[in-house]
Chains A and B, each alone.
Chain A
């Protein structure tokens, strides 16, 4: 699935669903065929049962015809029955449908035999009926006529009691026999036989014997009629009825044999219907589930990565930094898209890094321009300040020279000469300014070699050198016993201390109390060493702390400072890897200048 394209995935998904649908259809077709087979079998069975039922009906009809024939004796009915038998036989010959299995074949064979027997019996019955008919309608009338003829010839012999007896008996016998035809009472027959025998014994004349002989024929014919009647009645009523019953019974059995398959077929059809319904349900469920699962899988495999890629593109478009575009290693269309997005991202990153670089360069340029501007400004300020401060003593000198000339011209020589001091002081100041400016310009260039200095000893030496000025000012310097070793150029160290002490002499005198300046150490961590120069003078308000380290920035007009001392201190400390700070509230609590050095190893 990973290496398949989206199109292939969609095709596969639909393919699976379509395959399931085709399988379902095939199953339906198969089941329909089976159902059709079942229906055909059912229909055959139905036909068979119907045919068998028809056979039964036919036989019943036949039996009815035969019964009618037996009771009426109409030949047409016999013919009808025969025709029915022929038709039945023909039906047996053509109806293979009935002979479905061994059982059926056996039964049909027996039915055929039964029918043949029936036919035979019918033939015999018809014959017997015919015989009876012959006897009743031909023989008996003939005998009657002969008897009547004899009776008519004997009318002359009247009063003969024997003849009269014979004649009366004959009438009785004949009436008995006729009555028997309609009412088969066996007693009538035996009575007639007995009477005839008695007549035979009574007869004496030939005529009488012939008459009695006729009577005997008459009786015999009747007996024959009775026999014939009995014969066909027996055939019709017993033999043929039995055959018919047998036939009906066989057809019943045949029907039950045929119907024995019905439950099986019905069961089969029901089972089939059930299984088809079950399989269709399962198949449809499967197809639905497969369609859902596959579409979900396909959709997820497409939309998820697509969303991720588009989200990433969105982020890229917004200019965000994206480490990795998802889905680059995919083999499908999303992978192609992701690869394109990745190329876009890389190009973006390159552009961004170039932009960053150019921004950095721009910043650098800006910074150096600012530096340049600042140093230009500083230089300008420096030149401005220096020119002013250098001009000041010159202005003083020139002004005083002019003034002295005026005084001299006005004859005030003493007054003019008294101004020479100012002139001299002004020139000296000029000279010191130039020297200090030169010194400031050398800071960071000359005397930069750092050494380990025992700051206690160095401070002591500086204080000793300044002792006459300190004494002149009435100032006492108190030095801590334990001062740290620092790493600095010794000349610069002396310069810094000198400047700070000079500063203290000028500005550190307290309003009352002894004039003392203390030099103490302060804890500053393992790698730094700190010295503090503390005075008890007026101090400097925090607003001016930064300014005091600037060039020519003097806070008072008194004294003779050049305004360069603290600027030199700051420059020296900065170029020596140290710092100088000022702690003062400016309200008479003095100043603390904090010098931080590199601690010597």
Chain B
């Protein structure tokens, strides 16, 4: 079912238009992180995945380090600072506001969805994720941002 996911033309298009190749993943669960890495490897092999287990170092890296990632993948439930708080912190930072953030979570509750979008999440994916859906979402988000980044 996940075999026909490769669409190099679209990937190349994305890669050509945006120089950043980094994708930031914040996920405390190792297995879940491994799954995301595998999916990214399968769908977007040209992008570099940086993984953090907790919110604090991730935020530090975003604020101080470079390059600015092209995409941020956030688990909702993190030890210490929660994924939602991290999202809010990222979106209140002017330099990061235009970086798309996708929530990855086991929770399918309407409340969590609403909270995520209130804090300016760009997409919300419920685990376990289907390869096709994951790929399509990530691509759609990236493309949308490439189209509108100048105007935002």
Do residues A395 and B127 form an inter-chain contact, with CB atoms below 8 A? yes
Do residues B106 and A388 form an inter-chain contact, with CB atoms below 8 A? yes
B2, B54, B77, B106, most chain A CB atoms within 10 A: B106
Considering only residues 390-431 of chain A, those with a C-beta below 8 Å from chain B are: 391-392, 394-396, 398-400, 402-403, 405-406, 409, 422, 426
Closest residue to B36 on the A side, CB-wise?
Answer: A399
> Does B18 sit at the interface, judged by CB under 8 A?
no
Q: Give the size category of B's interface with A.
A: 20 to 34
| Whole-angstrom CA separation of A387 from B111 in the bound complex | 14
Q: A384-B109, A391-B106, A406-B2 are in contact. Are A396 and B32 (CB under 8 A)?
A: yes
Q: Which residues of A contact B54 (CB under 8 A)?
A: 557
Interchain Cβ contacts within 8 Å, total number = 56
| Whole-angstrom CA separation of A395 from B31 in the bound complex | 9
| Whole-angstrom CA separation of A392 from B128 in the bound complex | 9
Q: Which of the residues A387, A399, A556 comes within 8 Å of B127, measured between beta carbons?
A: A399
Q: Which of the residues B31, B34, B106, B131 comes within 8 Å of A406, measured between beta carbons?
A: B131
Do residues A403 and B77 form an inter-chain contact, with CB atoms below 8 A? no
| Whole-angstrom CA separation of A403 from B39 in the bound complex | 8
> Does A555 sit at the interface, judged by CB under 8 A?
yes
> Does A554 sit at the interface, judged by CB under 8 A?
yes
Do residues B79 and A554 form an inter-chain contact, with CB atoms below 8 A? yes
- Least CB distance from A419 to B in Å reads 9
Closest residue to A553 on the B side, CB-wise?
Answer: B79
| Whole-angstrom CA separation of A517 from B144 in the bound complex | 56
Do residues A388 and B77 form an inter-chain contact, with CB atoms below 8 A? yes
Q: Which residues of A contact B106 (CB under 8 A)?
A: 387-388, 391-392, 395
Q: Which residues of B contact A391 (CB under 8 A)?
A: 106-107, 127
Chain A interface residue count, Cβ-Cβ cutoff 8 angstroms:
22
Do residues B29 and A392 form an inter-chain contact, with CB atoms below 8 A? yes
| Whole-angstrom CA separation of A554 from B78 in the bound complex | 10
Q: Which of the residues B30, B53, B107 comes within 8 Å of A387, measured between beta carbons?
A: B107
Do residues A384 and B107 form an inter-chain contact, with CB atoms below 8 A? yes
| Whole-angstrom CA separation of A399 from B133 in the bound complex | 13
Do residues B128 and A395 form an inter-chain contact, with CB atoms below 8 A? yes
Do residues A396 and B109 form an inter-chain contact, with CB atoms below 8 A? no
B51-85 CB mask vs A (1 if < 8 Å, else 0) is: 00110000000000000000000000101000000
Do residues B28 and A399 form an inter-chain contact, with CB atoms below 8 A? no
Do residues A388 and B107 form an inter-chain contact, with CB atoms below 8 A? yes
- Least CB distance from A541 to B in Å reads 11
A394, A399, A554, most chain B CB atoms within 10 A: A399
Q: Which residues of B contact A426 (CB under 8 A)?
A: 31
> Does B3 sit at the interface, judged by CB under 8 A?
yes
| Whole-angstrom CA separation of A396 from B33 in the bound complex | 10
20 sample A-B contacts, Cβ–Cβ < 8 Å, listed by A number: A384-B109, A387-B106, A387-B107, A388-B106, A392-B29, A395-B106, A395-B127, A396-B32, A396-B35, A398-B128, A400-B31, A400-B35, A402-B2, A403-B35, A406-B3, A406-B42, A422-B31, A555-B79, A557-B53, A557-B54
B residues near A, CB below 8 A? Answer: 2-3, 28-32, 34-35, 38, 42, 53-54, 77, 79, 106-107, 109, 127-131
Q: Which 5 A-B pairs have the closest CB atoms?
A: A391-B106, A399-B35, A398-B128, A557-B28, A395-B127
A residues near B, CB below 8 A? Answer: 384, 387-388, 391-392, 394-396, 398-400, 402-403, 405-406, 409, 422, 426, 554-557
